[in-house]
Structure 1
Amino acid sequence: MPTAPHPQNTDELFQALQENDQLPYGRTRTVAAEELVDAAEQFAEPGPLAYALFELQEAYTYGSEPRKSPVVFARLLNLFDEQPDVFDERMRHMLFWRFKWVANALRALPEVPLTGLRQWLTEMRDRYVKADLDLQPYYGQAYQLAAHLGEDTSLAYELWAGRTRTRLSDCEACEICERALYHLGTGDDERALRTWEPVLAGKDSCQEEPARSVSYALLPLLRTGRTDRARELHLAGYRACRRNPSMAGEVGRHLEFCALTGNEARGLELLAENRNLFDEVDSPLDLLDFLTGAEVLLQRVELLGHGELPAAGYAGRTWTVAGLRAEARGRADDLAARFDARNGTTAHADRRSARLGRIPLLETLELTLRTRGLDDASPAAPVAEPIARTTALPDSLPELILQARALDQQGHPDAHACWARLRTLVAARDYAHPDDPAVGPLVQLRADLLAEEASRAGERDEFADAAALHEEAAALYDDAGEPGHAAVSRACALLATAEIPGQGVDRDEAKTAALTSAHASMVRLHEETPDLAPFQEARLMRLKATALGLRLQTSRSDEHVAPVLAETDVLYAFATRHDLVGQLSGAVLLRASTYAISGDLPAAVTEIDALLDQLKAHGPAWHLPRTLGLRGRLQLGLRDAQAAHADLTEALRLAADWPADAIDTARLHSDLAEACMHLGRPDEALRHLTRSAEVELRRGSRTDAYCAYSNAAQLSLDLGRVEDCIALLDSLLAEPDVTAGELDDRLLAQLRLTRARALHTGEDLKAATAEFVTLAAESAGWDDDPGSHAMIAAETAVLLGESGEFGRAREAADQALAAHARAPRFDQLSNCLRELARLQAQQQGPDGLADARAFLVDAGRVADEARAAEYEAHGRSLDTALAYEHGRVNAYAGEHEDALAALEKALALLGDPGREDDRVGEWAECVRFAGAVEGLYLERPAPALTRLDAAVSRLTALGHTEETEPLISLAARHRHPPTRAIDDEHALTGRSAPTATTHVTPVFRQDSSKGASIRDALA
């Protein structure tokens, strides 16, 4: 693979080594390290070669290539023996530290004889003694060899653990893990977990910790009843080791954890995400650990009867669960046998047997926000047909046909089960149509099936398909001599055609015109079709009213309200006269929706209340959930969240009595989530959002599902459930239609954007910045949406600033400014620029002042533009925020007079606070900051005290006592100054300094508009 140019001198070599050290472990870094060793050999100085060899050994060690690590170390050791003066104190420390790396590598290779392992430990001991080094690290390796062999480790453990740690001991986190594993081996879960706690709590960490400890602690946590802790650590720990060949064993234990907690589907998902490990793990010991964990999972899936499911395994062929399990078992058994043959014990076979013999510790543990079962893991699984709950399917074919038609005339949800059964029967090669005049000819039944299929397509918003199917059905009805049915199908085709989304900026106008035309055509169709049955005529009336209702919903024009109400009145009167309760209910729903869309929510509620009384008395019962759902949305519009919650909850309860697709339960869950948010119950809202998404997925509405999941991810992030958010998004981003590029690019961007923010919140700045940089580059091509690019580029700039990459941050900020010029985003750009100024001044002090001030100049221009556009900022004004930031930037750079002047300006812009002023916290912080600069840094405590005391008095008189606390504390410091020199960054940043962070508006969010939709009234 192509790499960087060959270093021409040692300075270039060291620069290349430093750059390579910043890369993640893997083949790219390893190949570069190999080439740098070749380059170092051209120089006469041995020092650069030694450094290059150290880099190469590290790449092999953490790149899971244990066979090569000892070879490189042998070269280093020879170089040390021949030219010890080349090794300074740091290099000498690294050399003796890495004796342990070699010991670990040799243990991982079954081809290395046991005598070789022991000889290496003897070599290590002799070298340590000769160098006058303490032997605690040696005894640590001796203990680990005993544990590897399966010998009695008691003495070896005491010889190691009882000794004082030295500079060459393994890091504290690694040693804690080894001590905990010893206690785990004795069966003492509680003591192991107590030992592990500093690492699991994040107090001690290193390259592999806490991810390694987490993977081992998962099952003990479950066995001791700490399920929530196990769930939390699984999410965080898995992310730290996924796809990493040097942590394949850890991944295997996470797979095992999924298998033993009822999360087999998630386990298969994680296995697919780590497919690379089957081929990239060069360490036999790590591979054995990984394969055993994978086999535990695959075994569990097969035992549950899903051995035919696809599974991700070795490259080059397609695997099923059963096939991959057999392959993994054979390879793992062979590895275990090789280790046991080398070691002269049965330890590895016994450990494998123990892991494979474990039974599930929990029947189910909800690991992620996206609950999936093995039935969901089947690719392209058809949506399950709804089960009729109230009407049994007749055995007789004629009776089945007649029942399907009778139920369809009523709009009964159980009709679909009848049609589904008939569709299967008619498709059979031996189908014989009944010779029964009551049933009619086969062509009529085929028309019925086409019409039902068309209705289903319309419910999925596949309007073009629906229109074509309705037209085809109409033609068949003509052939069958059923003009009434043909007229209804043609009216449905007209409506579906009018709903096909248009293109361009005038698409709403075009749709309005199309619906007007469709209504006129329906009127003519109605007039030209004689001898309609009452149910057919009512359907035509309903379709005409629906066309006008959709026109109103599209245009929002007051002049379109009266025609809808007039049509619904006609429908209502006709349905009442012919006792068509379903159409009567539909008329009221249309009328209520019309009132809601026109803004008269109380009138809509009055209509709905009357309808609910009628439905409870006369039916149809299946309209109750839909009607309650509409009432709940209306209550949300009236800001009565409690009433909305009650209606929507009851709607969901009643929906359970009907087939799964009869009621739009996804919408009910989504609306309930909104009600819960208004009631301050975000955790409940999160559950409803995920359930909404699950329903959408089951019925094949994948875009709607991803939108709901996107909202759930954002909410989980807002709730501080960072790992939940990341795990959910990782799962979605691994979906086949996402990886194949079939998802809307803006929705995909929203998912990735939320994930990047979650990574940032989770303090994974490197990963977050990389994703933001990629998103910024991609969004630069969104010519139709420069505002979103401006916001993404602004947030990218801030993350680059946090990483200290101010050159790249400046470039990203310039991109944001250019996009902002086309689609202004005043708040976001001002926030970004001020934050960059603060970061640069804070990190670079006086050296960064000029560039920091340049950012503030740009922020000033943005504020001027906002003022000229009469833009009202969200929260504090941009001018006040800018003045405050000038104060902080100058303070960080040591320009305290300028800082004080800027803060005085900010206070003048804020004005004196009032009793109900929501800016009082900002004002108090500005006073505190000015008092700190004046009293501490300019050493003028008297005026500073005057300022602070006056502010405390004013705030106290206004009843804002909480805001006085930091001011009183600072005043006390002025009165009793410390004797040491002042170096107090807290005095600059403060308790709650109004810093600016950039949060861009989501690129793609699910519509959460309140009130009604005309489509809610369709049956």
Structure 2
Amino acid sequence: MARPKKRFPQLLEEIDRTPWGPAEQALVAEAVALALEIGDEQLEYQARMRQTASANMGGATDVMLNSFAWCLAHHDADPQRFPADLDNGGADLMWQFKWMASALRSSPAFSGEQISAVLDDMESHYRAAGLGLSGVLTARFEDAWDAGRIDDAEALRVQLEATPRDEHSHCDACGRSQFAGFFADTDRDADAIRLVEEMIEGGFSCGEEPEHALSRVLLPYLRAGRFDEAKSAHLRSYRLAKDNPDNLRIVANNIVFTALTGNEARALALIERHISWLAHDGLNVDAHFAALSAFAVALDRVTATGHGSTPVRGADAADLVSLFGEHDGPWSAEDLAGACWDAAERIGAAFDERDGTSGHARSLERMRALASEQYDVPIRSDAFVAAPAASVPLDADGWFQRASDLAQYGAEKETLAALPRALEVDDPAKRAQLQSMRIGILVALDRAEEAAELLPARIGALREAGLEAQADLESRLGLATFGLNTPEAAEMLEQELTASDSLPAWSRGDLALSRASLHLMADEPGAALDLVEHAARHFTEAADARLVNTTTLVALSSLLSAGDVDAASALLDRFIEQDDLSTGHRARALSMRARVRGGGDRFAEGATDADEACRLLAGLGATSALASTHLLAGALWEDAGDPEQAVARYRVAARFAEQDGDDATAVNFRLARGMLAAGDAEEAAELFGTVLDQEEQSEVPAGSRAMTASMLARALTASGEFGQAVGAYGYAAELFGEAEQHADQALALLERAKILARFDEHEDAIEMLESAADAVRKDPEAVGTLADVLHNLGQAYGGQGDERAFALFDEVTALAQQHDAGWLLADVTDSRGRALGALGRIDEAVAAALTAADGFSALGDEGSAGGSELYAARLLSGSEREADAVPVYRAALDRAAQFPPLREVAALELGTVLESLGRHGEAAEVRALLD
């Protein structure tokens, strides 16, 4: 037993320092099991007290109730052996009492008498322990409010506010959030907003705060016309709540917000993301009621926008049949809306019957009344993607043309889907062509056995069309003319080419093109080009413009593979200008030219080509190809410096990928990056967080996750979420270290240090910078990062009066001189001057600052030069050398013509110095410059 007893205290320490979540829950379960194995009830009590808190935070109500009941019974039997407070920094038994009444209230399976008994038992325990009654009043207030006894709740709220706070009162965050929710529910929006803003301004937080409070004032903000605050509150609330199923109510509030603000696509996306949470905690039925009514409101809005037929992914899960009932096929948004309303009404009626009130019916009435509210608060992370504007072919000949265009672009999936209807065409030559498409696609998809089974039909169609020579050729070659990439296929093609003089021109072209394609696959573009020229001549002789154009596309691929971009670009321009191009060929050529132009830094022109290709593909209904082509367009617009255009394309690409069941993680990363560049930092932060979650689940390499975490940190910083940004940069640094990307690790630590320094956490900032310096020195190639980190560390040391700054400045100076980095040399000289000034070494500091000013000026940076001179002037003035300061101030002022802030500060300070010297006229002249 010695080893388990040694492990147990280690487990408790791990539990107490592990954040709430799956890892912590696993440790708690292990602790309980270990205590049972040891057979020590006191150890079991310590484990189960933690289990109660863990289950409360994780939404495991049944575990929480059982664990609490066990602990309370043991405490009541022997308070000395089983004290109410373990003094471990977690909730004590009396605090946990508050969770019990709430848990019973959350399910109509528990009677009103049971709830009252728990509340009375709670009060008895509080009185017996000599505790204040704030916690009891809080629980009674929550019970009255949840039951719909609003007058009783109001009276208890007033009584609670008049009751002195004690250690069992709700914390500042939870108390404000709770009252804010009650005020919002009783149409006192201004009071609700006031409480939440007090909470945010005071920096109050707790287990599910501020995300719950922020979700409670979303509608009050909208009704007050404060749309920017509403949007920020939504994005922050959802980002903080989205990973814990116990936050179902919070997510429900956010879904209602998206539905009322014109973000129906986002509402649907959130429903799909969280609908499985309805099966998470079977006893938290009241949260299910809130979520179902929110889903119903949102799905009604989705239907009203014309997307009622959209399938709701995840709604047909077996765990949800008890809520929605049986359904034939996937649930549509419109059908699921009705099922949600029905389920909410059924649950609400059970609660009202238990409570003897109409509280839940009233709540449903309020939710239905939201149908009349609409606000315009656009959020761009989600959008409905309309089906491509493709006309449906009217007959087999129309489907033949559609399949041909799709194949000529290379849209394999859509071509295969169109072929069955196209093969109904009467013309055997067309059927032969269609069979060729199908066989070629199957070969390309490594489904050669299936392709071989279709050869007899292809050959039969050729013979029916009178193309006996081609039929005989393919009978001999099998799949060799359809792209089968084997040595045997290449050898057979070579043999047939050698003896092809007697074949029709079309067959000779087909042989040459087939062999050219294999050369291209083998990275032999020169040989491919030679054969492409032969193929083009043969197809021209056969008067087959379609295959002449196909051959040109193979020639273009060969030129690009050979690196002859100029020739490819010229050929592309001529090709796209042709009048005889099919839609498929034109779309393919535009996509190729878009990439070529992008490679030549002609990003906007390339993006325009990609957009046109998207338009053509939409007309063909090529949704899979549309996703990749929109992604191309987005990348080109992003490189062109137009993130707004990029975001629009990435959003469509992501939605198409999701609709096709493809992994949209990489697209969403680009979308989030575009949003950040476009100034939508809060939306970008949410999406980066989602991408990081997906990457964690997929176990992508640490370096890739680190980049996402770093971008998340940037977005959080831009959103003003500095605390979370510090954590994200720390995680990014950890992952970069794991990937041995030391320069990137150093940059993440550097950014983390900058935030810490911003909030005067200078010791922690210096520790981060020292770690960054250690990391970057492991990468001898990262000269720029090394200089940046050492410079910042030197500045931090200098700000603390630490002489170690100067050795670092010397090292940065040497790097700047070695790499002819003039601006860096001036900047580090300025930093040296400021560090000297902080140490009181005025003459040296002034000399360094003026040297820096000269360096900046020589590079044309008059603003930085003036800043250095202003610092030097302040040093002189502050050391009672006002007369010496005057010419330096004037020099700074002379540089400040194009920099109004510098001009204003320099003039004000110079005027003050001149006044102190009794030079009143000069002071007046200087101050006149401010008018």
TM-score of the aligned structures, taking structure 1 as reference length: 0.63
Give the corresponding residue for 1:716: 675
SS for the counterpart of 1:614 is coil
Structure 1 CA distance, aligned partners of 2:506 and 2:842? 79
Structure 1 match to 2:891: 951
Match in the other structure for 2:785: 828
Structure 1 residue aligned with 2:725 = 765
Helix, strand or coil at the partner of 1:830 = helix
| Compared CA separation, residues 312 and 945, structure 1 to 2 (3 A) | farther
The reply to whether residue 793 of structure 1 matches residue 745 of structure 2 is yes
Amino acid corresponding to residue 765 of structure 1 in structure 2: A
Q: Matches of 1:4 and 1:876 in 2, distance apart?
A: 63
Aligned partners of 2:235 and 2:683 also within 8 Å = yes
SS at match of 2:620: coil
- Aligned partners of 2:717 and 2:725 also within 8 Å: yes
Corresponding residue SS for 2:619: coil
- The letter for the 1-side match of 2:681 is V
What CA distance in whole angstroms lies between the structure 2 residues aligned with 1:151 and 1:390? 59
**For residue 206 of structure 1, what is the aligned residue in structure 2?**
205
Could you report, residue by residue, the CA deviation over 1:38-90 in whole angstroms, capped at 9, with x for unpaired residues? 9xxx9xxxxxxxx9999999778756677577998999999999xxxx999xx
| Of 522, 525, 529, the match for 2:500 | 529
Residue 726 of structure 1 contacts residue 755 of structure 1 at CA under 8 Å; is this kept in 2?
yes
**Structure 1 contact 258–267 (Cα < 8 Å) conserved:** no
Aligned to 1:923: 865
Q: State the Cα deviation string for residues 887-935 of structure 1 (Å, max 9, x = none).
A: 56x47xx952469847855763674445982x33443444444555565
User: What one-letter code is carried by the residue in structure 2 that aligns with 1:775?
Assistant: L
The one-letter code sitting in structure 2 at the alignment partner of 1:580 is D
- Select 2:736's aligned residue among 767, 776, 779: 776
Q: What is the rounded CA distance, in whole Å, between the counterparts of 1:896 and 1:658 in structure 2?
A: 73
- The amino acid that maps onto 2:669 is S
Opposite residue 739 of structure 1, the aligned amino acid is Q
Match of 2:646 among 685, 688, 693: 685
Q: Structure 1 pair 390/608, CA: closer, same or farther in 2 (3 Å)? A: farther
Question: Which structure 2 residues correspond to residues 129-208 of structure 1 after superposition, within 5 A?
Answer: 144-153=142-151, 156=154, 160=158, 177-178=177-178, 180-186=180-186, 191=190, 195=194, 198=197, 205-207=204-206, 208=208
Q: Distance in 1 between matches of 2:846 and 2:322?
A: 67
* Alignment partners' CA distance in 2, 1:523 and 1:886: 74
Residue 151 (structure 1) shift: 2.3
Alpha-carbon contact 2:872-2:888 (below 8 Å) kept = no
Render the CA deviation track for 1:133-187: whole Å, top value 9, x for unaligned.
Answer: 9x99998776545423322428936972997897668667656655554454345
Q: Give the letter for the 1:581 counterpart.
A: A
Superposition deviation, residue 688 in structure 1: 1.4
How do 1:407-422 and structure 2 match up within 5 A?
407=404, 411=408, 420=417
Matched to 2:241, the amino acid is C
Q: What CA distance in whole angstroms lies between the structure 1 residues aligned with 2:164 and 2:826?
A: 55
Q: After superposing the two structures, state which structure 1 stretch, 245-254 or 586-595, moved more.
A: 586-595
Aligned equivalent of 2:357? 345
8 A Cα contact 2:865 2:892, kept in partner: no
* 2:688–2:712 CA contact under 8 A, matched in 1: yes
Are the aligned partners of 1:176 and 1:195 in contact in 2 as well (CA < 8 Å)? Answer: no
Give the Cα–Cα distance (whole angstroms) in 2 for the partners of residues 706 and 968 of structure 1.
54
Deviation at 1:767, TM superposition (A): 3.8
- Structure 2 Cα separation of the partners of residues 583 and 60 of structure 1: 67
Paired position in structure 2 for 1:581? 545
**Mapped partners of 1:752, 1:896: distance in 2:** 39
For these two proteins, the number of residue pairs brought into alignment is 865
- Tell me what 2:925 maps to: none
CA–CA distance in 1 between the matches of 2:215 and 2:183?
16
CA 1:756–1:387 in structure 2 vs 1: closer, same or farther (change >3 Å)? same
Q: What is the percentage of aligned positions where both structures have the same residue?
A: 18
Counterpart in the other structure of 1:236: 236
Kindly state the Cα deviation for residue 772 of structure 1 after the two structures are TM-superposed. Answer: 1.6
Aligned-residue offset at 1:768: 0.7
Q: 1:502-651 to 2 correspondence within 5 Å?
A: 525-540=496-511, 564=529, 577-586=541-550, 608=572, 610-615=574-579, 618-629=580-591, 647-651=609-613
1:234 to partner: Cα distance? 3.2
Contact 1:903 1:930 in 2 (8 A): yes
1:942 to 882, 887, 892: 882
- Please give the residue correspondences for 1:867-946 in structure 2 after superposition, counting only pairs within 5 Å: 870=819, 876-877=823-824, 879-886=825-832, 890=835, 895-897=838-840, 901=844, 904-905=847-848, 908=851, 911-914=854-857, 917=860, 919-932=861-874, 935-936=877-878, 939-942=879-882, 945-946=885-886
Q: Is the 8 A contact 2:293 2:364 kept in 1?
A: yes
One-letter identity of the residue aligned with 2:357: T
Read off the aligned partner of 2:497 and give its amino acid letter: H
Deviation string for 1:208-233 (max 9, x for gaps)?
44312332344566778877765554
Deviations along 1:386-409, one digit per CA (max 9) or x if unpaired, are 998475443xxxx899x5899589
Kindly indicate whether the alpha-carbon contact (under 8 Å) linking 2:235 and 2:682 is maintained by their aligned counterparts in 1.
Answer: yes
Counterpart AA for 1:216: R
Post-superposition Cα deviations, 1:433-489, rounded to whole Å, max 9, x if no partner, equal 99x9x849xxx98x977753464468xxx6866899699969986998976479799
Give the counterpart letter for 2:891 in structure 1.
A
- Residue 777 of structure 2 aligns to a residue whose secondary structure is helix
Mark the CA change 1:357 to 1:580 in structure 2 (over 3 Å): closer, same or farther: same
d(CA) in 2 for partners of 1:594 and 1:140? 76
CA contact (8 A) 2:20 2:57 kept: no
| Contact residue 480 and residue 493 of structure 2 kept, 8 A | no
Shift of 1:776: 2.6
Q: What is the distance in 2 between the residues matched to 1:409 and 1:204?
A: 58
Which residue is equivalent to 2:437? 452
SS at structure 2 position matched to 1:369: coil
Contact persistence 1:411–1:582 (CA under 8 A): no
2 CA distance for matches of 1:155 and 1:718?
Answer: 48
Residue 582 of structure 2: SS of its match in structure 1?
Answer: coil
Cα distance in 1 between the residues matched to 2:568 and 2:785: 39
Taking the aligned partners of 2:813 and 2:103, their CA distance within structure 1 comes to 60
For the residues of structure 2 that align with 1:493 and 1:944, how far apart are their CA atoms? Answer: 90
Cα distance in structure 1, aligned partners of 2:6 and 2:292: 40
> Structure 1 31/694 Cα, relative in aligned 2: closer, same or farther at 3 Å?
closer
Deviations 1:500-523 (A, max 9, x none): 9xxxxxxxxxxxxx9xx9999967
Matches within 5 A, 1:67-146: 110=110, 113=114, 115-116=116-117, 119=120, 144-146=142-144
On the 8 A contact 2:407/2:437 being kept in 1, the answer is: no
Aligned pairs for 1:301-320 (under 5 A) are 310-311=314-315
Alpha-carbon separation, structure 2, partners of 1:62 and 1:835: 41
What is the deviation of 1:835? 3.5
How far apart are the structure 2 equivalents of 1:405 and 1:658? 7
Residues 1:216 and 2:187 aligned together: no
Checking the alignment, whether the CA contact within 8 Å between 1:33 and 1:59 is kept in structure 2 is no
For each residue in 1:276-311, what CA deviation from the matched residue of structure 2 results, as whole angstroms up to 9, or x when unmatched?
A: 785468767557656765788899999957889545
Tell me if structure 1 keeps the 8 A contact 2:631–2:649. Answer: yes
Once residues 904 and 407 of structure 2 are traced to their aligned partners in structure 1, the CA distance between those partners, rounded to angstroms, is: 70
Once the two structures are overlaid, the 10-residue window that deviates more, 943-952 or 56-65, is 56-65
Matches of 1:740 and 1:634, distance apart in 2: 33
- Structure 1 residue runs without a partner (length 5+): 43-50, 376-383, 427-432, 501-513, 781-788, 978-1019
TM-score (norm 2): 0.68
Q: Is the Cα–Cα contact under 8 Å of residues 405 and 415 in structure 1 kept in the other structure?
A: no
Matches within 5 A, 1:339-378: 340=352, 343-348=355-360, 351=363, 369-371=381-383
